[in-house]
């Protein structure tokens, strides 16, 4: 009996020692992740990424998350043209990562959020009490009404506005509508969509082509557009593909063709990341259930994992967020 007690006591001691050691290793791993983490991201992600960064810092208090917002195309060009240090890029259009960053600056691209185009306004907007999904195209063309949009060469919301105008022309049977709309109020074009919110606030413009998530985050009124034109519904992907627009490419003499498709945000890690450990930890957090919950709270649902053409190049920690293409 005495021997049995000694054995049990010894076992208990070893068990608690192992438990403490395990916790110590876990804490050590967390504490090893520190330093600046630089994230270039779409302006429409400013609020959710700030909330995600705040939650992330609870787990990794030694990491200094630096969030830099710009139009997604401009974000990519900071990396490709200016060679600025960056760990992670989050784009409002996953295609920007494919077209500008892969394969030289990034190996892979993970879809992580959804959205849709709307028309945003407030109580001070002209015809605010009249506008709806059946007459917005008439009201925006009125001489006394002004609207804002973002620069298509810098921001996906800008070229998506053009695509929406083209789809609306077809859907409502409005000859030359797109050309008329795009020729109007060009002085109100801004580098990224969230830059237009201040113009709306001071009554310089009446309406903005903007993402639904941004409207919800800022408690703004918005007009929901039919699924046939809002670039939201995968059911209409073939219809969206009937319109396209060219934007500035990787070099001054190049153009990139952007074809209409359902909205899909993308995120990637940059190859020459200054802080690779923090990069993987943050990406894992963004794509986790906690990250998804924050995105949803801010008006953006997240897609289910889909087959990824660069699955084998994904970090092992992130492969659980994608599917491998079947051979």
Give the Cα separation of 282 and 106 in Å (integer): 16
CATH assignment of the domain containing 178: 3.40.190.10
Residue ending a domain, among 211, 237, 259, is: 259
Whether residue 110 has pLDDT greater than 50: yes
Give me the pLDDT at residue 204, please: 96
Are 255 and 129 found together in one domain? yes
pLDDT interval class at 250 (50, 70, 90): confident
Which of helix, strand or coil describes residue 124?
coil
Mean pLDDT of all residues belonging to the chain: 91
Domain that holds residue 156: 117-259
For residue 174, count CB atoms less than 10 angstroms from its CB and return exposed for 0-12, middle for 13-18, buried for 19 or more: middle
Q: What is the pLDDT of residues 31-87, one digit of tens each?
A: 689 999 999 999 999 999 999 999 999 999 999 999 999 999 999 999 999 999 999
Give me the pLDDT at residue 327, please: 62
Q: Which of 201-205, 231-235, 252-256, 279-283 has the lowest mean pLDDT?
A: 252-256
Give me the pLDDT at residue 253, please: 85
CB 82, CB 234: distance < 8 Å: no
Are 124 and 241 found together in one domain? yes
pLDDT interval class at 29 (50, 70, 90): low
Are 179 and 271 found together in one domain? no
Q: What is the pLDDT of residues 162-183, one digit of tens each?
A: 999 999 999 999 999 999 999 9
pLDDT interval class at 9 (50, 70, 90): very low
Are 147 and 255 found together in one domain? yes
Is 190 within the bounds of a domain? yes
CB 106, CB 269: distance < 8 Å: yes
Residue ending a domain, among 241, 259, 277, is: 259
Are 209 and 186 found together in one domain? yes
Number of domains present in the structure of the chain: 2
């Amino acid at each position: 009996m005495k021997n049995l007690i000694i054995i049990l006591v010894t076992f208990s001691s070893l068990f608690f020692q192992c438990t403490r050691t395990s916790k110590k290793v876990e804490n050590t791993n967390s504490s090893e992740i520190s330093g600046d983490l630089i994230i270039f991201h779409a302006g429409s992600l400013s609020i959710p990424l700030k909330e995600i960064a705040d939650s992330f810092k609870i787990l990794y208090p030694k990491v200094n998350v630096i969030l830099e917002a710009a139009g997604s195309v401009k974000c990519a060009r900071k990396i490709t043209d200016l060679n600025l240090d960056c760990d992670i890029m989050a784009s409002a259009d996953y295609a920007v990562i494919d077209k500008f960053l892969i394969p030289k600056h990034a190996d892979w691209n993970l879809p992580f959020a959804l959205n849709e185009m709307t028309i945003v306004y407030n109580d001070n907007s002209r015809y605010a009490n009249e506008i709806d999904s059946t007459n917005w195209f008439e009201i925006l063309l009125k001489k006394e009404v002004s609207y804002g949009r973002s620069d298509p060469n810098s921001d996906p919301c800008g070229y998506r506005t053009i695509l929406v105008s083209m789809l609306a022309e077809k859907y409502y049977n409005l000859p030359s509508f797109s050309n008329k709309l795009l020729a109007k109020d060009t002085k109100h074009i801004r580098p990224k969509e969230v830059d237009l919110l201040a113009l709306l606030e001071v009554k310089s413009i009446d309406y903005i082509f903007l993402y639904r998530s941004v409207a919800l985050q800022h408690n703004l009124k918005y007009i929901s557009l039919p699924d046939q034109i809002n670039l939201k519904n995968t059911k209409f992907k073939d219809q969206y593909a009937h319109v396209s627009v060219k934007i500035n490419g990787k070099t001054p003499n190049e153009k990139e063709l952007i074809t209409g498709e359902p909205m899909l945000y993308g995120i990637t890690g940059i190859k020459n990341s200054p802080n690779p450990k923090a990069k993987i930890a943050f990406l894992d957090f963004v794509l986790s259930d906690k990250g998804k919950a924050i995105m949803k709270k801010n008006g953006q649902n997240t897609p289910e994992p889909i087959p990824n053409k660069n699955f084998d190049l994904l970090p092992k920690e992130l492969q659980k967020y994608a599917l491998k293409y079947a051979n």
